[in-house]
Structure 1
Amino acid sequence: MMPIWRILIFLGSTFNLLTGQQGERAERILLNQAGYRPGDRKIAFIRTVPGDEFEVMNLATNKPILNGKVGALGINDRNTGDSMHEIDFSSLKSPGRYQLRIRETSMVSPEFVVAADVYDVATLASIESFYYQRCGTEMDNGTPWRHPPCHTADAVFFDKPSEHMDVTGGWHDAGDYGKFVATAAVSAACLLSLHELHPSKFVDGQLSIPEAGNRIPDLLDEVRWELEWLLKMQRRDGGVHHKVSTKKWTGEYLPDRDPDQRYIFGVSSAATGAFAAVMAQAARIYDHFDPPFAQRLLRSSIHAWKFLEANPSIVPSGGFRNPPGVEGGEYGDTKDEDERLWGAAELYRTTGSLEYHRYFLTRFKQLGGMTYTVSWQNVQNFAYYSYMMGPREALDNDARAFIVATLTRYADRLLGRIEENGYRHVLGAEEYYWGSNSVALGYALDLIQAFRILGSARYREGALDQLHYILGRNPFDQTFITGVGDRPVKHPYHQFSMMLRAGSPVPGLIVGGANKNGRLRGKVLSGFPGKCYEDNGKNYYVNEVAINYTAPFTYVAGFFSSLAEGKERVGSIGGR
């Protein structure tokens, strides 16, 4: 039976397709189109002020239930050029369906709901989107988004094309069909970390996937699909191949009609370190559901660690680079110290072995603490968070104090950025580059960790502001997730959706967002970095999807969801 949330997504996608407006759209009040939880702060924005009073209409009665003054000019936002006025309707706490209006004018907001579960559909849709990224299998779960098995042939080794290996499975990385260990590990880690944070929220039968009904949470079933592929990428000596991809981009195809030969590229220590980390993390989680599988994961993690011990310098020298003549995703990394530290932290937390703790203690300061968000190329924050989630008696006092201090400075700096931004968006002007939405969501993940470790609700509020941005409170008056909201992104660069022509794209996918450096055919989208975006299915610079964009969204939305009762562990990590 199809879950109710899936029916709502399908009906919403159909409605948006039928009612989509063309050309210029009327200026509206900007807010979170998914809605608001009753107790949360509720802030909307307008850029033009046709009137100075607003009212909240109860759509069940068509009567106003709240009114107030539009805020005076707040911030002239440098990233977008917009002059922002604030509407604070936080006193609205009763569940229901509403609309904001500027009195005696035609300016309105999207219709929205106030309810405890406003983030549940987006959370589950984003998790199920990983199912639609599955490689090497038939896609058919009763929805329009289906295809026969794809990419079932063995891949050949790039440096030895006469030799081949089975590396089927896993998730397609993005809008095309490559598979990369760096993004796979970080994406799986985001989802596993969410499960570790709130295991009661994720149960069997929430998704429309083949494994539903096996008494294992569907979230873990989906992550296992990626873990099984990662296991295939490990070489006999413990090293992990960097990626599986084609040599050149030759066109756009349905997954099952992709004609290009796929190649296995060389081992990298960055990929091996990330592999060691996520396998150790997964081992302690799956031990509750499938102990033999958990032991297999842990053995593979330790085997990868032994490879790193035998190769203390980065492999290959200087870090992975695409060989001459190879185009497409490289995911090169010139430093592997952060992946090694993350691997040590996860192995210590899973095994309690002092050898991993000693490694962590001799190196945790060398990376300089927290200066940038979690990403496929920067994972030291994951190392620090994993360490702090261990029992207090297992933590070194000096290491704990260092992490608390660096996290405090880092998180406070992020809050300062949010306060200075007209949309309460965390990105600096220089951070509107490829995948900018994932950067903002990574910062939101960091702020959630700051809330959990340090205890201040200010950090939680800052994280929630980024969710508001992704879900419609942004310069484009649209959500950046397919299938969710009054105006969802409709034309992602996602070859499966584009070539299938099912009417609407696969739901639950996050697109890259504003990119000041991306100029499709030389077209400049805006003179402001925060407005360099268009919902154009050909513009992969701004509208391509990727698993490492969706995964941090799942973490953030899942944190604020009400999928199950339970309280966050606030300020108790590491013995606080």
Structure 2
Amino acid sequence: MKRCILLILLLPLLMAAREGTTDYIRINQLGYLPGGVKTAVWGSLGGSVISRFELVDSASNKVVYKASAGRAFGAYGPFRQSFRLDFSKFNKPGAYFLRAGNARSPVFRIGAHVYDGAADFCLRYLRQQRCGFNPFLKDSCHTFDGYTLYGPMPDSTRINAIGGWHDASDYLQYSTTSANTAWHLLAAYRDFPAVFTDRHNASGLPGSNNIPDVLDEARWGLDWLMRMHPRSDWLFNQIADDRDHRGMRLPALDSFYGRGFERPVYFCSGQPQVQGVKYKKMNKSTGVASTAGKFASAFALGHSLLKKDDPAYAAALLERAGSAYRLGLQKPGVQQTASVLSPYIYAEDNWTDDMELAAAQLYGVTHKPALLQAGMAYAEQEPVTPWLGADTASHYQWYPFINIGHFELGKVAAAQQKTQLAGYYKSGIEKVWAKAKQNAFYRGVPFIWCSNNLTTAFAIQCYWYQQLSGDNTYAALAQANVDWLFGCNPWGTSMVYGLPAWGDTPADPHSAFTHLKNYPIDGGLVDGPVYGTIYGSLIGIRLAEPDEYAAFQSGLVVYHDDYGDYSTNEPTMDGTASLIYLMALKENEGKAKK
């Protein structure tokens, strides 16, 4: 019903084609920067072809630009034929639509401001994900966290692990995703401070506190990470487990662990831990560096940004950055997550990228040459993030989805090393480009679980490569990944709840907030499309309502805006944080080109 109401309200803007057509034009619903790459995709379910397209001023209904449709890209997903419509040469601000054959696109904008406010908008989702005091609900939750497991202390030892963010639509909390989230928020402010505003206080409630909201949010995460690394030889990996998934409820009603409202807190033991009791499996943990490195990098960057205004807190962050890094040195390897009911975990398999970033951030603070040397040594062990160019991977197998350390080292390394690191990025981009150039959407990112997170990370990698190298070869590829997230995809929908406000965006995500209370989850980036084979193999998925995108599903890839599909339509905290960085980057690009 919600989707039906939304479409009725938006019908004047979203009129994409004549009734009964099988041809569609997919666009970036946010719009296009005047000096940027501007491309849409025309697709035909019936296999028709076009030779030209027109750009039409929506106010005057006059054609303002015509061009060849270019080469046919052939079949992709549900479309039997497809073309890329490139109108990058046209740069006049205004509101327009595209027309080709029997298809007409929704109205979109060209202008320097099309990304303005997007990063701040997505911060709404992070505030809503807060654990402890939740400013959206104006209530507290999980205030009894928690009791320890797998640690050197007796099991069920009580520690204070209150705070942080809920990981996704469930209420689990992972140190790895939280540290990655905190890092992206801090880096977004460091790199693009002008795009962020101050409309909330430290508790997340409305009201200015003379601190940009993005820093308030990052500090909320840092505070929790400090509790998860409470002393130099203690490091914790997660709170709660998949017993959480036994039912939807609001966070204050979480009592699924047999100890009232207490939840388990899993220690970073560096040893295998449970992975689904009935499956008689243990995860493949080999060390703690994958978690420790992420802690160290978030703490070190937090120190850099907060030392002027809060030197005592910044000093504590630096101390914990050092102790976390030392734990990574002492116990190299990966600390995977634990599960009890199901076999699904965050099966991280790499760790040298995390230690590379930690070394880079600590070098930025201490300027010790040994840290720069260590960072370069780690970089050489994983020059290309392994999912790049691959067709599949386990859930969160290569995490984070971008080797951040290459960029951070590249900014401080000697010229030869900088060229080397940029070359690593280029090698990964080329692996994706080899697949992407074969289809009209320039899609080379695999449709594995959390494909939107990979898409966001890959777009950032393309931009970081350009900054390190000065080479703009992959500008169209980078923009295609941004466009994909906001509607230039087979379904014609944005993958971000409520963004843009006038667009086709998720309305029925896999979220207790929306499903039980009809609360909006503004700014949340949903997991994204998955291969049809993955969707068909997952446990417990059942659509609750008829599929409004049924005509655009295919054996290749599916996406459902339905709370019953946790594989494609569940928002995630860390993916949204990466998107905040990307949106800040794009808003800054618009400001730079005004």
Measured in 1, the distance between the counterparts of 2:427 and 2:350 equals 24
Unaligned runs of 5+ in 2: 258-262, 271-287, 390-395, 544-549
2:336 matched to 1:320? Answer: yes
Secondary structure in 1 matching 2:73? strand
Matched ranges for 1:475-494 at <5 A: 475-485=490-500, 486-494=503-511
Deviations 1:84-110 (A, max 9, x none): 12333334322222222347x5x3211
1:37 alignment partner in structure 2 = 33
Q: How does 1:18-33 map to 2 (within 5 A)?
A: 19=9, 27-33=23-29
Does residue 408 (structure 1) correspond to residue 426 (structure 2)? The answer is: yes
With over 3 angstroms needed to count, the CA separation of the structure-2 counterparts of 1:321 and 1:81, relative to structure 1, is same
User: What letter matches 1:560 in structure 2?
Assistant: K
Q: Give the counterpart letter for 1:266 in structure 2.
A: F
Q: Is the 8 A contact 1:134 1:170 kept in 2?
A: yes
Q: Determine whether 1:275 maps to 2:295.
A: yes
Deviations 1:487-514 (A, max 9, x none): 1111111222222223xx3111111111
- The answer on whether the counterparts of 1:28 and 1:110 sit within 8 Å (CA) in structure 2 is no
Work out whether 1:506 is the aligned partner of 2:517.
Answer: no
Corresponding residue for residue 218 of structure 1? 213
User: Could you say which residue in structure 2 is the equivalent of 1:89?
Assistant: 87
Matched, 1:251 2:243: no
Structure 1: distance between partners of 2:589 and 2:215? 15
Task: Report the Cα distance in structure 1 between the residues aligned to 2:482 and 2:327, rounded to whole angstroms.
Answer: 39
Residue by residue over 1:367-398, the C-alpha shift from the partner in whole angstroms, topping out at 9 and shown as x without a partner, is: 244554697843572122111122xxxx2565
Give, as a single letter, the amino acid of the residue that structure 2 aligns with 1:190.
Answer: H
Partner of 1:74: 72
Give the TM-score normalised by structure 2. Answer: 0.81
SS at match of 1:548: helix
Amino acid at match of 1:100: L
* Offset at residue 41 of structure 1 (A): 2.6
After the TM superposition, which residues 436-447 of structure 1 pair with which residues of structure 2 at under 5 Å, given as runs?
Answer: 436-447=451-462
Answer yes or no: is 1:121 the counterpart of 2:139: no
**Which residue, 373, 378, 390 being the options, matches 2:399?**
378
* Equivalent residue number for residue 266 of structure 1: 267
Residue 122 of structure 1 contacts residue 557 of structure 1 at CA under 8 Å; is this kept in 2? yes
Q: Which letter does structure 2 place at the counterpart of 1:234? A: H
Distance 1:276 1:238, change over 3 A: farther
Give the CA deviation at 1:334.
4.3
User: Is 2:322 the counterpart of 1:307?
Assistant: no
Q: Secondary structure at the match of 2:62?
A: strand
Q: Which amino acid aligns with 1:555?
A: Y
Deviations 1:276-332 (A, max 9, x none): 1111122112224332222121111012123234x2443xxx743526x35486324
Contact 2:228 2:235 in 1 (8 A): yes
Partners of 2:156 and 2:404 in 1: how far apart? 39
1:553 paired to 2:573 = no
Structure-1 residue corresponding to 2:318: 298
**Aligned: 1:228 with 2:223:** yes
The answer on 1:538 being equivalent to 2:559 is no
Q: Deviations over 1:384-417 (max 9, x none)?
A: 2111122xxxx25653342133223333333443
Q: Deviations over 1:97-143 (max 9, x none)?
A: 2222347x5x3211111111111233221122111111111434xxx
Q: Which of 143, 147, 150 is 1:152 aligned to?
A: 143
The residue type equivalent to 2:448 in the other structure is Y
Q: Give the 3 Å change call, closer, same or farther, for CA 256–523 of structure 1 in structure 2.
A: closer
Distance 1:326 1:276, change over 3 A: farther
Paired residue for 1:112? 108
- Per the alignment, in what secondary structure is the counterpart of residue 190 of structure 2? helix
| C-alpha contact 1:170 1:229 (8 A) present in aligned 2 | yes
Matched letter for residue 256 of structure 1:
A
Paired with 2:158 and 2:477, the residues of 1 have a C-alpha distance of 48
* 1:373–1:381 CA contact under 8 A, matched in 2: no
- Per the normalisation by structure 1, the TM-score is 0.84
Alignment partner, residue 3 of structure 1: none
SS at match of 1:40: coil
Secondary structure, in 3 states, of the residue corresponding to 2:527? coil
CA contact (8 A) 1:475 1:531 kept: no
Q: Hey, what does 1:387 align to over in structure 2? A: 409
Gap change, CA 1:237 and 1:289, over 3 Å in 2: closer
Q: CA RMSD in A?
A: 3.3
Query: Which moves more between the two structures, 331-340 or 229-238?
Result: 331-340
| Residue in 1 that maps onto 2:187 | 193
For 2:336 and 2:332, how far apart are their aligned partners in 1? Answer: 13
Contact 2:348–2:397 at 8 Å: present in 1 too? no
Aligned to 1:173: 167
User: How far 1:444 sits from its partner (Å)?
Assistant: 0.6
- Residue 530 to residue 127, structure 1, CA distance change in 2 (3 Å): farther
The 3 A distance-change label for structure 1 pair 367 and 450 is same
Q: How many residues are treated as equivalent by the alignment?
A: 534
Task: Give the secondary structure class of the aligned counterpart of 2:319.
Answer: helix
Deviations along 1:123-180, one digit per CA (max 9) or x if unpaired, are: 221122111111111434xxxxx35222222311135554212211111110111110
1:405–1:29 CA distance, 2 compared to 1 (3 A): closer
Structure 1 segments, 4+ long, off by >6 Å, are: 12-15, 522-527
Instruction: Please give the alpha-carbon distance, in whole angstroms, between the structure 2 residues aligned to 1:397 and 1:51.
Output: 48
Moved more, 404-413 or 373-382: 373-382
Separation in 2 of the partners of 1:187 and 1:373? Answer: 21
Residue type matched to 2:265 in 1?
A: I
Q: 1:293 to 1:564 in 2, by over 3 A?
A: farther
Q: Is the 2:360–2:409 Cα contact (8 Å) retained in structure 1?
A: yes
Contact 1:238/1:305 (<8 A) preserved: no
- Say which SS state the counterpart of residue 333 (structure 1) adopts: coil
Contact 1:43 1:89 (C-alpha < 8 Å) held by counterparts: yes
For the 8 Å contact 2:239–2:264, the answer to whether it is kept is yes
Determine the C-alpha separation between the residues in 2 that align with 1:88 and 1:38: 13
Residue type of the alignment partner of 1:59: S
Determine helix, strand or coil for the equivalent of 2:158.
strand
Contact preservation (8 Å) 1:342, 1:383: yes
Task: Indicate the larger mover: 530-539 or 78-87.
Answer: 78-87
Instruction: Please give the secondary structure, in 1, of the residue aligned with 2:95.
Output: strand
User: How many angstroms does 1:357 deviate by?
Assistant: 2.6
The residue number in structure 2 matching 1:9 is none
Q: Contact 2:303–2:317 at 8 Å: present in 1 too?
A: yes
Show the counterpart of 1:343.
Answer: 358
Contact 1:515 1:529 survives alignment (8 Å): no
The Cα shift of 1:527 comes to 8.2
> Are 2:135 and 2:204, in contact at CA under 8 Å, matched by a contact in 1?
no
Following TM superposition, by how much is the alpha carbon of 1:533 offset from its aligned partner in structure 2, in angstroms?
1.4
In the aligned structure 2, how far is the partner of 1:238 from the partner of 1:567?
A: 49
- Alpha-carbon distance in structure 1 between the residues aligned to 2:590 and 2:69: 36
Within the alignment, does 1:422 sit opposite 2:420 as a pair?
A: no
User: 1:206·1:218 contact (CA, 8 Å) conserved in 2?
Assistant: yes
8 Å CA contact retained: 1:284, 1:350: yes
- 1:113 aligned counterpart, secondary structure: strand
Structure 1 stretches lacking a partner, 5+ long: 1-11, 141-145, 569-576
Cα deviation digits, residues 19-40 of structure 1 (max 9, x gap): 3789x99653211111111122
